[in-house]
Amino acid sequence: MKNEKHDPATEDRSDFGPLKGRSLEIGISLPRADAYGKVTGRERYAADYYGSDLVWAAVKRAGVPHARLKSIATETATALPGVLGVLTYADVSGSNRQGVVRKDQPVLVNDKVRHAGDAVALVLAETRETARKAMDLITVDLEVLTPVLDQEDALLDGAPLVNEDHADGNTLLKGEFRQGDPLAAAEACDVVVEAVFETPRVEHAYLETEVGWAQVSDSGNLVIVVSTQTPFRDRMEVAEALGLEANNIRIIAPYAGGAFGGKDGVTVQSLLGLAAMHARGRPVKMWWDREESIIAGTKRHASKMHYRVGAKSDGTLHFLDAGLSFDTGPYDHLGGVVMTLALEHGGSCYRIPNVGLRGRAVYTNNPIGGAFRGFGVAQVTGAMEQMMDLLASRLDMDPLALRLKNAVRRGDKNAAGVTLVHSTGLVECLERVSRHPMWTGRSLWKQSAGPFTRRGVGIAALMHGSGYGPLVPDVANAKVELTPEGTIRIYSGVVDMGQGNAATNLQIAGSILGQRAEQMELVQPDTDRTLPSGSASASRCTYTFGNALIPAAKSLKLRMLQRAADLVMARGPEEMALIPGRVRNMATGTDIPLARLAQFMDASERIATHRFRAPTAKDPVAVDEQIRLHGFPHTLYSYAAHVACVEVDELTGRVDVTRYLAVSDCGKIINPQIYEQQVQGGIAQGIGYALSEEIVVDQGIIKTPDLSTFIIPTAVDVPPMESHAVEIHEDTGPYGLKGVGEIATNGPLPAIANAVADACGVRVFTNPLTPERVLEALSRAHSHDGGSA
């Protein structure tokens, strides 16, 4: 068959369906620019790339959590008809190591297996079925080693080492933050509460599992189309791991079918690149099935958190001490960064003068811990917000009043020692909740519970930092073009994995340039066409890229108006105005179509770019340089207050969330519909985290490798949600905006846990709150009520 090579670039989307004819104004709920392509099935995701003469690549995985690799026998598999090759570490020319911070994850195992999902061999075959058959024919000779399965055991003397070359043994990273004098402060408190919390390992469960397509071009360049959050970083990682030059690699990132942090870093990329290098110019596809996705992909870190919080009798927080431990699995991935963000948010959104925080990320042979929406903050907020309720109960205070009393305001130092110099709307969120019927009417609602049902209402206050922290540059480079056809083309540098930033980019540039949707085009991230703008993560996408896009669009606008003014001999650009498809000379009423204007501009003039770097915290916080490098602290925070209403079935322990309220301070809103999507979707994921989701691991093996055992919420599990925004203008934000991508995910676990405790009179300290755990707590409470004394 002829080896046809197509340009795999994503189609520049210019047909936005129902958006046609609409003015792209800031602050209105426009339909998303990407919705039309998606709802018609036309949008091409990475999963939808095939091409003629396709080769399928598949991975043989270790299946055991810890073992020394002795040999791999590939001859039988290679001999199978339809198999094009079986590759091992010996075929990797580069470092064979991947990672965002510490590069410790092999593309293909060369010395040791460190978790059951490790990739051992790579099969290239004519069909997926043949690839699967071939995998069964590969014999891997392993010397099984004692696995490290528990994060506390991992730190015992004599524990087996997961990564022998790591100076700190099984401690990937540890950090400490102190403020004031926590030891003395503990003594000076009127009340101190203490608790230990455990949160589960959780799977992202994006609908589009890890997938990509790759081909080596005639000129020898490697092109990879992949579902990723980080195309520009991927390029560097693949280059180093495979021993290629980065500028010989092109990464194209179409709209991703969900990511939530699980595609922040390399998944299929290096494997696909390696396969393409051995496919003799044919295109190669790799698509992990659901089980492989769960086994090999990263997880939200399982955590153990020991908290002590103290207050004066009037409820003033005086002291916090917390020890945080995160099971990061065998590779750094983003584990050190996740732990560091948890450390920064350990005291959440409160003024606490005396703080001692210790955190560690621990290597084990469990599944890889990595980025997941909420990024460590979901865990610590879950703990701290339950501590606030425990404290309120001991002080006999209203839990909302206790939070209001200690809530950070602009100008305060927060519990991480950061002076809050940007918009800080937590008090407004809490006050809005305090007036809401869900809160004011809660006693009556609880009293009217039906038979065998208990009702409870819980609250949680939230904060979430955005961006990369003080040292790693949080930068975006926007690019906008007036095309020869007279359209405005936006080159998005940040991936849209579903959060809607591409549509927001269209809205921003369209508004500045006075154009309607049909005059606009969107280009998705592509290392050959768009400019490096960082990851789609960290609640930064629209904040950072938007701040680059606004000046780029304004600069193009000025250039267009100036050239138009010169053409018609107007006095200057102030006499000219951009209207849809045209520039108008306001003095004479004559119009120049944009396509005509474009003819009078050189290609270099028709493109405007702008770089923006996000602001950083200037406080000299007391953490070591490693922790600063891992992102401690931030300067810009979003805030929210959440309320959950629950019903607990006394007979089964089942918890139903019946209503949910979120009031958020994420700055001003560019598109209320997209904003609500982020809040509602975050809440739904948080509900799953609170009630049903848990990756169960036994002896290093995942026991919940599919969506019938790892239970995410369905349409009947998510209650009616109400979302309000306090819309405080953030001076540094594009149109006053702050990040909204993650914060909502952090609320449901503590809000629901507090509601369940409110309903039951006892608290379950281990999530998820499964019926078994709740029923056990209820029976414990009941036996106490009954009183054998």
Q: Provide the binding-site residues for other proteins, judged by CB under 8 A.
A: 17-18, 29, 31-32, 34-45, 47-48, 50, 204-209, 255-260, 289-290, 497-500, 673-674, 676-677, 680-685, 706-708, 712-716, 718, 720-721
List the structure tokens of 733: 């934000």
> Does residue 151 sit in helix, strand or coil?
coil
Residue 490 and residue 521 in contact, taking contact as beta carbons nearer than 8 Å: yes
> Closer CB to other proteins, residue 32 or residue 66?
32
Residue with Cβ nearer other proteins (397 or 517): 517
Q: Nearer Cβ to other proteins, position 448 or 714? A: 714
Q: How far is the CB of 365 from other proteins (least distance, A)?
A: 27
Cβ at position 32, least distance to other proteins in Å: 6
| Lookup: tokens for 712 | 């995410």
Strand runs labelled E in 159-258: 171-179, 191-199, 211-216, 222-226, 249-252
CA atoms in the 13 A half-sphere facing the CB of 703? 6
Of 155 and 707, nearer to other proteins (C-beta) is 707
Cα 527 to Cα 269: distance, rounded to the nearest angstrom: 14
Q: Which is nearer to other proteins, 393 or 453 (CB)?
A: 453
| Closer residue to other proteins, CB minimum distance, 44 or 351 | 44
Q: How far is the CB of 37 from other proteins (least distance, A)?
A: 8
Spatial separation of the C-alpha atoms in residues 321 and 436, rounded to whole Å:
33
Tell me which residue of 430, 460, 219, 454 sits closest to 345, measured CA to CA: 460
Contacts (Cβ under 8 Å, ≥6 apart) of 345: 376, 377, 380, 381, 416, 463, 464, 465
- The position carrying tokens 């108006």 is 561
CB of 327 to other proteins, least distance (A): 23
Which of 29/247 has CB closer to other proteins? 29
Residue type at 164 in one-letter notation: E
Least distance CB 298 / other proteins (angstroms): 15
**Minimum distance from residue 534 beta carbon to other proteins (Å):** 20
291 or 776, CB closer to other proteins? 291
> Which of 47/238 has CB closer to other proteins?
47
Tokens encoding 75:
């001859």
* Tokens describing residue 276: 């393409």
**Six token digits for residue 265:** 């870093």
Q: Rounded to the nearest whole angstrom, what is the least distance from the CB of residue 427 to other proteins in the complex?
A: 27
User: Shortest approach of other proteins to residue 258 CB, angstroms?
Assistant: 4
Residue 509: closest CA among 688, 734, 740 = 734
Strand order in the sheet with 637-649: 453-465, 637-649, 655-665, 721-725
The answer for residues whose C-beta is within 8 angstroms of residue 276's C-beta and 6 or more apart is 214, 215, 216, 222, 224, 283, 284
Q: For residue 486, how far is the Cα from the chain centroid?
A: 36
- Of 667 and 719, which CB lies nearer to other proteins in the complex structure? 719
Whether the Cβ atoms of residue 120 and residue 71 lie closer than 8 Å to each other: no
The whole-angstrom separation of Cα 372 and Cα 299 is: 7
Give dist(CA 433, CA 376) in Å, integer: 25
Shortest reach from residue 44's CB to other proteins, in Å: 7
Amino acid identity at 119: A
Nearest-approach distance from CB 625 to other proteins, in angstroms: 37
676 or 730: CB nearest other proteins = 676
Nearer to other proteins (CB atom), residue 544 or residue 745: 745
- What size, in residues, is the chain? 789
Nearest distance in Å: CB 577, other proteins? 30
Q: In the beta sheet, which residues pair with residue 202?
A: 300
Between CA 747 and CA 377 the distance in angstroms is 10
Q: Residues with Cβ < 8 Å from 488, sequence gap 6 or more?
A: 480, 481, 482, 509, 510, 513, 515, 519, 520, 521, 556, 594
Q: How far apart are CA 197 and CA 607, in angstroms?
A: 53
- Tell the smallest beta-carbon distance from residue 47 to other proteins (Å): 7
Name the residue among 433, 340, 466, 400 with its Cα closest to residue 740.
466
Find the shortest distance in angstroms from Cβ 26 to other proteins: 17
Nearer to other proteins, 39 or 156 (CB): 39
How many beta carbons lie within 10 A of that of residue 1, not counting itself? 6
Q: How far is the C-alpha of 288 from the C-alpha of 119, rounded, in Å?
A: 12
- By C-beta, is 32 or 278 nearer to other proteins? 32
| Min CB(519)–other proteins separation in Å | 19
